[in-house]
Structure 1
């Protein structure tokens, strides 16, 4: 399944796409102001050099001659289209310069000033419209709190397993995380995830799952409490650094708690005791190559069979929201509605269907 629905359209043949340079609004405004100033100074220089061809109708004492101040005055009123008419070109050369140089400069000057204002207003209106439409459509999405290494890995895993970028919202206060999430094409809410208003903007009340990986256990506890208060039904998965904080995280409302330090330490220990076993464990946790651990529906053709007899290597069975090991007598025969936790090749095979990608009938009752 493509990560982005737009990938289904296919690229246009022969189309060349170049990377776009992103600049801040202040940089763009500064460049436009500098261009406007350049037009102003250039026009002033033209008028002052040709000052003998201009006459100031309000200055009889100086024989109606134009000086630098008069040239600056004429330039500003001309470029702004005010045009009081007290200073006017009288020579043929000055009139030609006004017609073919100063008039286009006036148009460019106005385009810069008016275009900047219109672009700011249009950009703000466009962004507000897009955000409003996104909020109306956002439902049953996944909220990722914290976009560090673990957060990005979680997003990659979701994208590789059928989610689209439109199904994911990232919450993080860091400007670096904001830039990373934008470059990855997911929606971002900037702010502290322990604050209700920030989580409300991320649509937590309408989300189906929340993944919390802030990097600090105290922040994760506060975020979990706030999320659970806003949405009592959402599934919350939290990563903690210390195993001793697992009970506290569960009491705070987390449905599943992953201890990152223990997991890394166990992999290090296994790799030391048995390098090959450590490699296998790392392979199971790596998506897209070798082996993978996956959850899938039980097919109708598999009902009544033993877990060990299936083509997939079944390691656990989920029945009535309870996980049983494959050798547990309770699941010695598979029943309708069971779900399987299996180890299988990462590359999809006909005998190892992923839910939703084949036409096999599931044993789960629909409707």
Structure 2
């Protein structure tokens, strides 16, 4: 409850009504101070400060109690009381109008959820940012959820974000333009592992790639491009990989015709209960070289290839050596990926899963 009240105060402080409230409170304070001084003067110094202040309060609040300071023989005192009452009531009306406008025009619960979301995102590190959660971005989000990776969804369309949250139950998102540096910073681009620039606009994906690269030179960026002529521009802007849904879809259709059993194998692997994927884990620089046999067998992963620079070793045997800087390609579940990372001490390295 205290957190909620503090959040409401923070929302109010950052709103346009904060200035109005502060001015109203200052005016009320000034009315009470000047009124107290005036009543002290009218009483000829006979009334106490508390009596004078009380006289101002009951006048401004329109309580109507009997006069603490006798005004029956002081026409000037009665005129002063009318001025205090008129000014005080007007100031109170101004104060209540500011509070009422804030309550009616501000969605406090929505603003509270937004601030809580930003605090959640601020605690993330090594996550992914999905810029655009339309037809393509929604599939990316599904894959990240299935492989148990943390990510933030960013989309300018609030209804699209709401549909994503309702469909998946994923509740870490920002509503805004991902090509804006401030939005990317709020999404944690400086601490993230990767950015998916997958909006439906090639030019926006280019700007997202450029902004993300400038804000985090080490981040991995994958961008969606419709027009092949924009691929080189987007890559020069900072994208590490360019994916064309039209090209990929065409290749998949050709594979379904020419090699149906291989395609069926990959499809069935993706539909298993433990969400098997072909994953890569980069061996950290401080890893002590050893063989696969020395690493120890584990039923949670199946090592299918080792990449050293541009050299590939497929189906490595137990005597194959694992050394720093290598990429270990394996068929694993999310739990198996974490076990393999722990085995080579790569829990903090950049890993990427790619269903084929």
TM-score class normalised by the smaller sequence: 0.5 to 0.7
Corresponding pairs, count: 247
**Following the alignment from structure 1 to structure 2, what is the Cα–Cα distance between the partners of residues 296 and 141?**
16
Q: What pairs with 1:269-284 in structure 2 (closer than 5 Å)?
A: 269-283=254-268
Are 2:199 and 1:214 equivalent residues in the alignment? Answer: yes
Of 164, 178, 187, which aligns to 2:161?
Answer: 178
Shift of the alpha carbon at 1:267? 1.3
Matching residue of 1:169: 152
Between the aligned partners of 1:359 and 1:249, the Cα distance in structure 2 is: 32
> 2:247 aligned to 262, 268, 273, which one?
262
TM superposition shift of 1:225:
0.8
Shift of 1:253: 1.0
Whole-angstrom distance in 1 between the partners of 2:158 and 2:341: 44
Q: Deviations 1:159-186 (Å, cap 9, x if unpaired)?
A: 22233xxx42211112331212332332
**Residue segments in structure 2 that go unaligned for 5+ positions in a row:** 1-61, 65-98, 350-356
* Compared CA separation, residues 219 and 117, structure 1 to 2 (3 A): closer
Aligned equivalents of 2:270 and 2:228: distance in 1?
Answer: 20
- Which consecutive unaligned segments of at least 5 residues does structure 1 have? 1-81, 85-112
Q: How does 1:116-195 map to 2 (within 5 A)?
A: 117=103, 123=109, 126-127=112-113, 129-131=115-117, 133-134=119-120, 136-163=122-149, 167-183=150-166, 184-195=169-180
C-alpha contact (below 8 Å) 1:243/1:262 kept by paired residues: no
CA contact (8 A) 1:143 1:209 kept: yes
Residue 190 of structure 2 aligns to a residue whose secondary structure is helix
**Post-superposition shift, 1:213?**
1.0
Deviations 1:200-228 (A, max 9, x none): 33232332321111123222112111111
Q: Which residue of 1 aligns with 2:337?
A: 355
Shift of 1:274: 3.3
1:334 pairs with one of 321, 327, 330: 321
1:240 counterpart = 2:225? yes
C-alpha displacement of 1:316: 3.0
The 3-state SS of whatever aligns with 2:137 is helix
C-alpha separation in 2, matches of 1:323 and 1:220: 29
Change (3 A) 1:356 1:120: same
**Cα shift readout 1:52-94 (whole Å, capped 9, x = no counterpart):** xxxxxxxxxxxxxxxxxxxxxxxxxxxxxx999xxxxxxxxxx
What residue in structure 2 maps to residue 228 of structure 1?
A: 213
Calculate the TM-score normalised by the size of structure 2.
0.54
Q: Are the aligned partners of 1:285 and 1:293 in contact in 2 as well (CA < 8 Å)?
A: no
State the alpha-carbon separation in 2 of the partners of residues 209 and 153 from structure 1: 16
CA contact (8 A) 1:336 1:364 kept: no
Contact 1:316 1:323 in 2 (8 A): no
Give 1:284 deviation, angstroms. Answer: 5.1
Q: 1:328 to 1:226 in 2, by over 3 A?
A: same
2:247 match: secondary structure? helix
Which residue matches 1:316? 305
